Chain A
Amino acid sequence: NAGVMQNPRHLVRRRGQEARLRCSPMKGHSHVYWYRQLPEEGLKFMVYLQKENIIDESGMPKERFSAEFPKEGPSILRIQQVVRGDSAAYFCASSPTGVAEQYFGPGTRLTVT
């Protein structure tokens, strides 16, 4: 059973460009979570999605950030007009229904120049 997959692993964007981060959950997992990790910090929750629904986006900035998890295909975290402060590692996690633990992907390391 393949684990959580994220791509790209590394992404470099210039200020003002858009960043698209993709996450494919583990097979059989319908719950997806996105977290952001700043250097030397813990992970901060951003958004929680199920297929075609955003369940909780309380940790996601209201501007420039959006997320989706379509019926077919991976979950996408989209950052428009990136700024230097968006440079971080973005991790996706998934879980099956009714299970508290989450399984993490390898992360996408975004660098904004």
Chain B
Amino acid sequence: GDSVTQMEGPVTLSEEAFLTINCTYTATGYPSLFWYVQYPGEGLQLLLKATKADDKGSNKGFEATYRKETTSFHLEKGSVQVSDSAVYFCALSGSVSGNTPLVFGKGTRLSVIA
């Protein structure tokens, strides 16, 4: 079945450092890919998405590019802030046009220190 593997945390960075969180996936067909962020005690918020190969999703300084050849969707940010401290989840949907359950990675906890 479909699966998502993301780098294990925790990741600790200093403010203004560069962030990369790796995510690779296994899926049949052409999935849609997502990054969600979860702040302490809250639900998941959609951070960005990409629905086809070579699409780049971006939001709030975060970016991720859908790489079909490497089955990857790595999350990057050029300069992190303390407020970016959260758990980040990579996820896929097996259908780009329909409604299907999401498959999540285990999450990567990011701590940014001033």
Q: Verify that A and B bind, or say they do not.
A: yes
Residues on A close to B: CB < 8 A? 4, 6, 31, 33, 35, 40-45, 48, 56, 59, 91, 93, 95, 97-107
Across the interface, do A42 and B107 meet the contact criterion of CB distance under 8 Å? yes
Which of B32, B42, B101 is in CB contact (< 8 Å) with A101? B32
Bound Cα distance A91, B103 (Å): 14
Number of A-B contacts (CB under 8 A): 65
Cβ–Cβ < 8 Å partners of B105 in chain A:
42
Bound Cα distance A16, B6 (Å): 37
Across the interface, do B99 and A97 meet the contact criterion of CB distance under 8 Å? yes
B36, B98, B102: which has the most chain A beta carbons within 10 Å? Answer: B102
Across the interface, do B43 and A102 meet the contact criterion of CB distance under 8 Å? no
Contacts A42-B107, A99-B99, A103-B46 given; 11 further ones with Cβ under 8 A? Answer: A41-B106, A41-B107, A43-B104, A45-B102, A45-B103, A56-B101, A100-B51, A100-B100, A106-B42, A106-B43, A107-B43
Bound Cα distance A91, B32 (Å): 21
Cβ–Cβ < 8 Å partners of A103 in chain B:
46
Cβ–Cβ < 8 Å partners of A104 in chain B:
36, 43-45
A101 to chain B, nearest CB (A): 6
Bound Cα distance A59, B100 (Å): 13
Bound Cα distance A107, B36 (Å): 15
Known: A59-B101, A100-B51, A100-B99. A43 touches B44 (CB 8 A): yes
Of B14-22, B69-77, B89-97, the one with at least 4 CB within 8 A of chain A: B89-97
Across the interface, do B99 and A98 meet the contact criterion of CB distance under 8 Å? yes
B87 to chain A, nearest CB (A): 9
